[in-house]
Amino acid sequence: MAERDLIERLDDAIEAILTGRSAGLALSEPELATLLMAADDLRALPDPAFKSQLLAELVPPMEDEMTTTEFPSIRPYLLVPDADGMIAFLQETLGAELLGRYPAPDGRVMHASMRVGDSLIEMGEPESGPKPMALHIYLDDVDGAYERARAAGATSTLPITDQAYGDREGGVKDQWGNAWYLATHQEEVTEDELMQRFGGGGSKPRKQPGVGPRPEGYHTVTPFFHVRGARKFIEFLGDAFGGTTAHITDMPDREVAHAAVRIGDSLIELGEAHGESQPMPSAIHLFVPDVDAVYERALRAGATSVEPPADKPYGERGAWVIDPFENQWFIATAKG
Amino acid sequence: MDRAIEDRERLLIEAAQKDPKRFAELYEENFGRVWAFVIRRVNDRAVAQDITSEVFHQALANLGRFEWRGLPFAAWLYRIAANAIADHFAKSAREQGTQAETTAPPREIEDIERRASLYRFVDRLPADQRHVIVMRFAEERSIREIASAIGRSEGAVKQLQWRGLQTLRARMGTNHG
């Protein structure tokens, strides 16, 4: 008998089982009869949505991890279409440790978090499109991380270079478009020395013993914002989040070539968009002492509300705003 | 019980007793068994969901009191399930007076294990086959509804159903043949 006929006859028999007319079980062809036995057992197949909802009730996502204060207060939030791919990439490239992975009932990864050095990177698969961002990572062995990233499918944006500002640095873009600035801090460079180097003079960059792997005040992971209107962005960070400028480097051809702004115990870095470094609206999970107050300040500073402060089931009181530069801020205060 | 499986199960239980977040692993291991045990007895999806939910909530709440006596963890879950089913029937007037069995006889355990394996194999089917099998059997949707949901022809859906069942039969054959 042609396969097409068998497929039709099998479906007729399945229909009979499912609608309670079990006459279909009397199929004589052995090929069909054994398939129908499997189908008969599948009548009681549990609904995967029920299974994952029950698990979420039993083991509430994120409760412990969100309330923990052991991580820096700024946590980059990657919105990626393939969280499991990103998890594997971070494990292979940066030796990151998966702390939690929480599926939504529809099978998307709703939230996952990974420890990278002393920092936390969080992620989720968005219902809308991906939002690549840029991250600056300080680690012991930049050469190794750069090679591992390329082996894991990332493309090079900057070969390993000893930079004038004291970092040994390499850049890659992962397959989802996120930019990774990988660096080992290897030398303390004074502002005068830096300006001389930029002018073509000064000493050659070199490894200084006892320096690194990151400059003072930095954590392992620092989000990097390329923005149009960097000075305005710095003002916004001050008005909304009480950010204070740690340093600004202006270049002859470009104001705010690089700046670092401190918010709480963490830094964010930024630079005026130029050339290939165009704005990449980013998402940040920002922990503050009083989310309600910070939310109000952020709105007064020009942010748009997506969700006002509310108690979340995962151990925090959280709000969600979008700043005038289209970055998303998940502002949170740990509860209890 | 196989020694390696016993050791692994014991480690999972101890981990979950120390940190309830680790209960997820015990849940993954045993969900299909509890579901199969319950659905055989109540034969109604909505009721089976209520009772399965009750079983795991009770198990998590009482896990600290669970003592290892060499019996599979599933046996403990079956006892909770049998009691929950008995409570359910005691509450429903039409079933009053019937006594639910509180243990599962060996033949039934075999059947439960076979079904639990089948459910695990469904989870590992190629995505297009899995979607069709889940919609057809767990969600009880017609071929036409599935075709419209996944944007394929009815013939293509029947073919995926056929392939899915063939894959499952082959895997069950390898494991239980």
Provide the residue-wise pLDDT of chain A in tens; the chain has 336 residues. 677 888 999 999 899 888 877 654 556 678 888 888 889 889 999 998 888 888 888 886 554 444 456 789 999 999 999 898 999 999 999 999 988 888 776 677 888 999 999 999 999 988 777 789 999 999 999 999 999 999 999 999 999 999 988 999 999 999 999 999 999 999 998 888 888 888 888 888 888 888 888 898 999 999 999 999 999 999 999 999 999 999 898 887 888 999 999 999 999 999 999 988 899 999 999 999 899 999 999 999 999 998 898 887 777 889 999 999 999 999 999 876
Does the pTM exceed 0.80?
no
Contacts of A50 in chain B (CB under 8 A): 49, 52
How far, rounded to the nearest angstrom, does the alpha carbon of residue B145 sit from its chain's CA centroid?
26
- Buried b / exposed e over A234-249, threshold 16 CB at 10 Å, is bebbeebbebeeeebb
Tell me if A268 sits within 8 A of A258, measured CB to CB: no
Task: List chain B residues with CB under 8 Å of A47.
Answer: 45, 49, 134, 138-139
Q: Hey, what are A40's tokens?
A: 């008969």
Q: Which of A156, A163, A200 is nearest to A179 (CA)?
A: A156
Write the DSSP assignment of chain B as a string of letters.
--HHHHHHHHHHHHHHHH-GGGHHHHHHHHHHHHHHHHHHHH--HHHHHHHHHHHHHHHHHHGGG----SS-HHHHHHHHHHHHHHHHHHHSGGGTT----SS--HHHHHHHHHHHHHHHHHHTS-HHHHHHHIIIIIS---HHHHHHHHT--HHHHHHHHHHHHHHHHHHHHHHH-
What Cα–Cα distance (Å) separates residue A264 from each residue in A68, A74, A241, A245? Answer: 15, 8, 9, 12
| DSSP element (H, E) containing A48 | helix A48-58
Chain B contacts to A (CB-CB under 8 A): 20-21, 23-24, 27-28, 31-32, 35-36, 39-40, 45, 49, 52-53, 56-57, 60, 114-115, 118-119, 122-123, 133-134, 136-140, 143, 158-159, 161-162, 165-166, 168-169, 172
Residue A243, SS3 per DSSP: coil
Query: Residues of CATH 1.10.1740.10 domain(s) within chain B?
Result: 1-104
Contacts of A253 (CB under 8 A, 6+ apart): none
Q: Measure the CA angle with vertex B52, ends B168 and B16; round to 5°.
A: 90
CB atoms within 10 A of CB A97: 11
Question: Chain B residue closest to A36 (CA)?
Answer: B165
- B161 CA: distance to closest CA in chain A (Å): 8
Strand partners, A138: A183
Residue in A37, A58, A66 to test binding to B, most B beta-carbons within 10 Å: A58
Class of domain A73-280: alpha beta
Compute the nearest-CA separation of B127 from chain A (Å): 12
Gap between the Cα atoms of A38 and A36, Å rounded? 5
Nearest to A45 among B23, B137, B159 (CB): B137
**Please, where in chain B does CATH 1.10.10.10 lie?**
124-177
How far does the CA of residue B1 sit from the closest CA of chain A (Å)? 25
Where in chain A are the domains? 3-45, 73-280
Nearest to B24 among A6, A44, A55 (CB): A55
Alpha-carbon distance A139 to A221, whole Å? Answer: 9
Partners of A16 on chain B (C-beta within 8 Å) are none
A213 contacts A184 by C-beta, under 8 angstroms: yes
Q: How far apart are CA B55 and CA B23, in angstroms?
A: 13
Q: Which CATH architecture has domain B1-104?
A: Orthogonal Bundle (1.10)
- Does a cis peptide bond (omega within 30 degrees of 0) precede residue A213? yes
Contacts of B49 in chain A (CB under 8 A): 47, 50
* Cβ–Cβ gap B24/A10 under 8 Å: no
**Contact list, B136 vs chain A (CB under 8 Å):** 14, 18, 42
Give the CATH class of B124-177: mainly alpha
User: Can you give the pLDDT at residue A126?
Assistant: 85
| Residues A90, A149: Cα–Cα separation, whole Å | 9
**Contact between residue A61 and residue A111 where contact means Cβ atoms under 8 Å apart:** yes
